[in-house]
Amino acid sequence: SNKPNIVILGAGYGGMITAARLQKSTASKDANVTLVNKNDYHYQTTWLHEPAAGTMHHDKTRMDISKVLDLSKINFVQDTVVEIKAEEKKVVLGTMELDYDYLVIGLGAVPETFGIPGVKEHAFGITNVDSVRQIKDHIDYQFATYSQMDEKHDEMLTIVVAGAGFTGVEFVGELTERVPELCKEYDIPREKVKLVSVEAAPTVLPGFDEELVEYAMNLLESRGVEFKINMPIKEVRADGVLLNDDTMLKSNTVVWTTGVRGNPVVENSGFEAMRGRIKVEKDLRAPGYEDIFVIGDCSLIINEETERPFPPTAQIAIQQAYTCANNLKALIEGKKELEVFNPEIKGTVASLGGNEAIGVVGSRKLYGNSASVMKKMIDNRYLYLLGGVPLVMKKGKLKFY
């Protein structure tokens, strides 16, 4: 047909909401909308610390794309994006190529290694459904093997979490819930297990409210987490991490959570990027490209109050998707005026395991159970935006205790 082709890369928060918004609007009739994703399912990146620790089954975080989107209105292609050829208006996939008139890049992020040796080879990442299944299975295997050995190797029971930003803290919080269960299952005394959170910066959760950081640290320490703050990691090795003070912290399990960079497809396709993220125009287009929108963790937007980039979040990815869908619809209708993206940061809540969390919502500080309830409401709200009440009922966090 001579309808324009809209191609959306990545079915994460940004890509899924863009597709869902286009599906609801006339744009899905006036254009051919194609969504490309590696898997035939969408997953909740913000929940991945839970299946990584084994406190939630990984299936709870994912859903079939065909059950959320109407695939008679949106074409779905399951494939891996290899390269974007912007000059030719083409996308190279693993098994085919796609032509586009308008492109949306929503391929998410990968772990930032800062070039530290051994990270890629010896550390795990909380990145996607399969990477977190690998972490959970690996930890289970360490406990199972330890229980079978005559000569005990304690590094099997030492878990190092590199980076105490949001993801690292949320993950170590889940581990404090999971470890007692594992100890019980395998008859291992709890004091044999070491959970070590290593952070290069002078504080845990840099940039977060100090009072809440203190609450989080006290809680996690009381649950057996050992913090090594101000302690950069020099190298990751097969048998643990080499710390800045040249001591070796022996561990069979190193999980790398020191922040992210944009999907490497962006840089490999020749776009100018900062840590893999394209600094987008106000209407979310890539500078110099009238036909390419970039949303979510592949995009970079500046917080005008602080003059620093906003940290990449699902919150921003979802809001960008609304603007992106509106702007695509406008372009399809031949309009020249596009909507300007204005992020509205509603707050941030980090879970600490079980019914514990900390957060700032508006100007309110929350901690303990009230923060945890808020966290679950945020998670459910996203499901509501994507698939209405039925999806909340099916995949939501409905136990509030």
Nearest to 168 by CA among 369, 284, 176: 176
Helix (H, G, I), strand (E, B) or coil at 73: coil
Q: Indicate which residue of 170, 174, 199, 356 is catalytic.
A: 170
Least distance (Å) from ligand FAD to the CB of residue 250? Answer: 26
Distance in Å, CB of 109 to ligand FAD, minimum: 6
Least distance between ligand FAD and beta carbon 152 (Å): 31
Which residues have a Cβ under 8 Å from the Cβ of 209 and sit 6 or more positions away? 360, 365
Q: How far apart are CA 204 and CA 226, in angstroms?
A: 12
Q: Is 214 a catalytic residue?
A: no
Q: Which of 6, 7, 8, 11 binds ligand FAD (CB under 6 A)?
A: 11
Would you say 106 or 387 has its CB closer to ligand FAD? Answer: 106
Minimal CA–CA distance to 22: which of 72, 85, 96, 73?
73
The H-assigned helical ranges of 111-193 are: 119-122, 129-148, 166-186
Is residue 300 involved in binding ligand FAD (CB under 6 A)? no
Q: Is 317 one of the binding residues for ligand FAD (CB under 6 A)?
A: yes
Measured CA to CA, the distance from residue 234 to residue 38 in angstroms comes to 33
Stretch that binds ligand FAD, among 63-71, 302-310, 313-321, 364-372 (CB under 6 A): 313-321
Among 32-40, 193-201, 216-224, 241-249, the segment contacting ligand FAD (CB under 6 A): 32-40
139 contacts ligand FAD (rule: CB under 6 A): no
Would you state the structure tokens that stand for residue 373, as one six-digit string?
Answer: 């309830």
Closest alpha carbon to 353 in 206, 255, 223, 256: 223
Helix, strand, coil percent content, the chain, rounded in steps of 5: 40, 25, 35
What pairs with residue 102 in β-bridges?
A: 6
Q: Which stretch binds ligand FAD (CB under 6 A): 6-14, 114-122, 336-344, 381-389?
A: 6-14
Contact call for residue 126 and ligand FAD (CB under 6 A): yes
194 binds ligand FAD (CB under 6 A): no
- Asked if residue 313 binds ligand FAD (CB under 6 A), the reply is yes
The alpha-carbon radius of gyration of the chain (Å, integer) is 22
What single-letter DSSP state applies at residue 87? G
Among positions 336-355, residues that touch ligand FAD (CB under 6 A) are none
**Residues contributing to the site for ligand FAD (CB under 6 A):** 10-15, 36-39, 45-46, 48-49, 80-81, 106-108, 126, 128, 166-167, 170, 263, 265, 296-297, 312-315, 317
Please list the active-site residues: 170
